[in-house]
């Protein structure tokens, strides 16, 4: 594939993602906050539990820690592209429903600036909102020994996307520093309708909150690489994202009978985030890693209010095995991956947080006579509160990623 063709296709894909960068989703848990937060992991790292903070490799792009960009080979142009699809099962008591979802997940590019520096840019989802459900229950009447039947309908859609542009520099043989500039954009809409089907004295209500986000954020990264023996290496990574205000525009509209009331929404903050990670690479055959991240949502504003969100802690671990990298036997170059992750929620659902975990596995198939890899991933995840009988979500997801690695900057000698 020629450079011009590759660049043209790459920017076409980037345009498609810009037009619709969120996942297709149907999750009642996305009703709260900014929706379901998406993983920033890419490529083969997704099948290793979503690692990133401590990974440093010239074989794939890692935008979770901008210090990793300098790992790119000085002759190489890289591109990551990922798609996914799967089945999501929602369960409440004995009731169950299935929903298929799929998306074009991310696209990212990376190239060298010098032998000691690299640059990356890309587009990926930050959060996803998608739900539509209704409830019917009896509620007590204030100061009366009676109750009324209340029906509520909820629906929402949208999400936030992020564009990343970052650079990384090796400032010593074992130390790399990086910085990412991120631009967040997107639209989110939440609607709620309350009706009283058996009553004539109670007033029905429709309420809709719509807001747009346009915001800039910045995060820094550092990685330290410690060689051990001849072919082993330990990498320690740290990434820090600043708490910064978001530009939010929108309004909440409430309709009650013939009365319409509208008010602007408040402002939001991007939360302070700290991520640490470590990885150990043994003889280019075995890679093991672990990540821990903390997001301080409790100190960040959400639509003008503070203390409405909670701090979020996430843990991920995983590994990769290659029998013999560089072997002439195809199967010995295949990459086998396994991982898992766990995270608490940054919102409360009926005054209770929810938990989510996932188990991941995958295989990387190298393309013959090239350095490109096709990454297949399978993931099982679950999202549920700690309250028995509440809604639970189980998802079975398949992912396909392409890690393109082309020698663009080699100077060819003419004899």
Based on its alpha-carbon atoms, the radius of gyration of the chain, rounded to whole angstroms, reads 24
Q: CA 321, 323, 327, 330: dihedral to nearest 10 degrees?
A: -80
Confidence of residue 352 (pLDDT cuts 50, 70, 90): confident
Rounded Cα–Cα distance for residues 60 and 326 (Å): 16
User: Which of 13-22, 68-77, 371-380 is predicted least confidently?
Assistant: 13-22
pLDDT for residue 313:
96
Examine the pLDDT at 372 and tell me if it is beyond 80.
yes
pLDDT for residue 249:
95
pLDDT for residue 408:
62
Q: How much of the chain, in percent, has pLDDT values that exceed 90? A: 58
Select 3-407's CATH number: 3.90.1640.10, 1.20.1430.10, 2.40.160.60, 3.50.50.60: 2.40.160.60
> pLDDT, tens digit, for every residue of 95-144?
788 888 888 888 999 999 998 999 999 999 999 999 988 888 887 776 56
CB 51 within 8 A of CB 338: no
Delimit the domains of the chain by residue range: 3-407
pLDDT for residue 340:
97
Residue 239 corresponds to which tokens in the numbers above? 């990434």
Rounded Cα–Cα distance for residues 66 and 153 (Å): 43
pLDDT for residue 6:
53
> pLDDT, tens digit, for every residue of 18-69?
544 555 678 889 999 999 999 999 989 999 999 999 999 888 899 999 999 9
Average pLDDT of the segment spanning 215-219: 94
pLDDT for residue 193:
93
Rounded Cα–Cα distance for residues 305 and 86 (Å): 36
Average pLDDT of the segment spanning 359-384: 93
- pTM for the structure as a whole: 0.88
Rounded Cα–Cα distance for residues 272 and 269 (Å): 9
pLDDT for residue 247:
92
pLDDT for residue 4:
46
Rounded Cα–Cα distance for residues 111 and 124 (Å): 18
Examine the pLDDT at 329 and tell me if it is beyond 80.
yes
Examine the pLDDT at 15 and tell me if it is beyond 90.
no
Examine the pLDDT at 8 and tell me if it is beyond 80.
no
Examine the pLDDT at 381 and tell me if it is beyond 60.
yes
Average pLDDT of the segment spanning 59-86: 89
According to DSSP, the residues that pair with 163 across neighbouring strands are 123, 183
Q: How much of the chain, in percent, has pLDDT values that exceed 70? A: 91
User: Which of 7-21, 231-245, 282-296, 348-362 is predicted least confidently?
Assistant: 7-21
pLDDT for residue 24:
66
> pLDDT, tens digit, for every residue of 254-298?
998 778 889 999 999 999 999 999 999 998 899 999 999 999 999
Q: Assign 5 to helix, strand or coil.
A: helix
Rounded Cα–Cα distance for residues 265 and 211 (Å): 7
């Amino acid at each position: 594939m020629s450079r011009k063709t590759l660049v043209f296709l790459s920017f076409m894909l980037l345009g498609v993602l810009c037009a619709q960068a969120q996942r297709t989703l149907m999750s009642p848990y996305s009703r709260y906050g900014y929706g379901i937060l998406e993983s920033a992991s890419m490529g083969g790292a997704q099948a290793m539990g979503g690692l990133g903070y401590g990974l440093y490799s010239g074989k794939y792009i890692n935008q979770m820690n901008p210090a990793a960009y300098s790992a790119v080979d000085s002759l190489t142009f890289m591109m990551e592209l990922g798609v996914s699809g799967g089945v999501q099962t929602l369960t409440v008591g004995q009731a169950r429903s299935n929903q298929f979802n799929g998306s074009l997940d991310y696209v990212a590019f990376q190239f060298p600036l010098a032998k000691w520096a690299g640059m990356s840019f890309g587009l990926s989802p930050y959060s996803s909102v998608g739900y539509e459900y209704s409830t019917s229950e009896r509620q007590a009447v204030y100061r009366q020994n009676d109750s009324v039947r209340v029906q509520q309908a909820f629906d929402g859609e949208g999400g936030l996307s992020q564009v990343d542009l970052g650079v990384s520099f090796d400032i010593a043989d074992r130390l790399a520093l990086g910085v990412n500039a991120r631009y967040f954009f997107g639209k989110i809409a939440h609607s709620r309708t309350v009706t009283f089907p058996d009553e004539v004295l109670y007033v029905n209500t429709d309420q809709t909150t719509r807001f747009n986000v346009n915001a800039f954020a910045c995060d820094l990264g550092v990685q330290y690489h410690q060689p051990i023996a001849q072919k082993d290496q330990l990498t320690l990574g740290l990434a820090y994202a600043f708490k910064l205000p978001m530009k939010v525009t929108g309004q909440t509209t409430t309709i009650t009978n013939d009365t319409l009331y509208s008010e602007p929404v408040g402002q939001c903050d991007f939360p302070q985030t700290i991520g640490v990670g470590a990885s150990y690479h043994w003889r280019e055959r075995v890679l093991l890693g672990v990540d821990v991240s903390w997001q301080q949502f409790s100190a960040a504003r959400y639509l003008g209010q503070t203390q409405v969100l909670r701090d979020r802690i996430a843990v991920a671990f995983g590994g990769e095995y290659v029998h013999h990298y560089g072997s002439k036997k195809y199967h010995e170059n295949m990459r086998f991956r396994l991982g898992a992750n766990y995270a608490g929620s940054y919102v409360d659902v009926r005054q209770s947080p929810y938990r989510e975990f996932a188990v991941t596995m995958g295989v990387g198939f190298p393309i013959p006579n090239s350095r490109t890899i096709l990454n297949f991933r399978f993931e099982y995840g679950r999202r549920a509160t700690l309250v028995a009988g509440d809604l639970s979500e189980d998802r079975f997801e398949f992912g396909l990623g392409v890690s393109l690695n082309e020698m663009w900057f080699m100077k060819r000698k003419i004899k």
